[in-house]
């Protein structure tokens, strides 16, 4: 159970630490200090009010004592010693009350001075805390903004890394395509790789040249045959002519006989 309780408190503290905003905590502390300062000032005001009330009572009692003194003097002037004694007796009682009030006044005045000094010191501390609070809040806000900027730059860096890899892959593919295109151009230029239309045109020319060559061979053979046939005909005609000539001479001789 202790371990579970410890784990629960640790997780709760961690969650509270994440949820806590130091600026809000500082503002709350400053608010509490202002409330305390207000209470101290109210205490000073209450003590001062009590002191003022005592002073008013002193004034009233002093006026009564002075009046009794005058009455005692007047009673003596009228021969009324008994009245004068009564007036002085009452004055004596008032004098005792005045002494008590003076003592209370001194105590209240001392308490007022202490509270006033404490209020001044507390006010100075509150003002100092306020300045420190605003400084810490400004630093925290700046650090928070810097952290967000760094996180944004970190995210951008990661994205730029992915983009850089994509660009590198694109450049590699482009280089491969360019190399392939250059190789094909070299093969075409060397004649090792002709396109289908060039091959077809070459076959047509070859076939036409072969046909012309065959036709030439036929014509040459035909001319040779013609030449051979003409020679034989002339030889036959020459032989016939030589045979016919003696017959004609014989006929001529027979005719002459």
Check: CB of residue 126 under 8 Å from CB of residue 33.
yes
Does this model's pTM top 0.85? My answer is no
Question: Residue 11's pLDDT is what?
Answer: 62
The per-residue pLDDT of the chain, averaged, comes to: 77
Cα 62–98–85 angle (5° rounding)? 70
CB 71 within 8 A of CB 87: yes
Q: What is the mean pLDDT of residues 188-205?
A: 56
Give the residue extent of every domain in the chain.
2-156
Give the pLDDT mean for 5-19.
Answer: 61
- DSSP 8-state assignment for residue 206: H
Which CATH code for domain 2-156?
1.10.287
Confidence (pLDDT) at 249: 47
What's the confidence (pLDDT) of residue 212? 66
Q: Say if residue 87 is exposed, middle or buried (CB neighbours under 10 Å; 0-12, 13-18, 19+).
A: buried
């Amino acid at each position: 159970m202790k371990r579970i309780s410890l784990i629960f408190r640790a997780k709760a503290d961690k969650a509270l630490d994440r949820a806590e905003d130091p600026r809000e905590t500082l503002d709350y502390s400053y608010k509490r200090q202002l409330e305390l300062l207000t209470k101290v000032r109210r205490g000073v005001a209450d003590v001062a009010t009590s002191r003022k009330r005592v002073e008013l009572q002193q004034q009233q009692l002093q006026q009564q004592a002075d009046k009794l003194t005058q009455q005692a003097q007047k009673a003596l002037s009228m021969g009324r010693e008994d009245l004068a004694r009564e007036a002085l007796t009452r004055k004596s009682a008032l004098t005792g009350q005045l002494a008590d009030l003076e003592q209370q006044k001194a105590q209240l005045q001392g308490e007022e001075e202490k509270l006033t000094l404490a209020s001044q010191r507390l006010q100075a501390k509150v003002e100092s805390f306020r300045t420190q609070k605003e400084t810490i809040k400004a630093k925290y806000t700046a650090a928070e903004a810097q952290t967000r900027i760094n996180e944004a730059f970190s995210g951008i860096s990661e994205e730029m890394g992915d983009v850089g890899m994509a660009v590198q892959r694109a450049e590699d593919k482009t280089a491969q395509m360019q190399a392939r295109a250059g190789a094909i151009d070299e093969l075409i230029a060397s004649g090792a790789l002709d396109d289908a239309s060039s091959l077809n045109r070459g076959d047509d020319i070859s076939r036409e040249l072969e046909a012309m060559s065959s036709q030439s061979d036929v014509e040459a053979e035909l001319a040779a045959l013609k030449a051979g046939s003409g020679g034989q005909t002339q030889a036959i005609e020459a032989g016939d002519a030589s045979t016919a000539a003696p017959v004609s001479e014989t006929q001529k001789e027979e005719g002459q006989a």
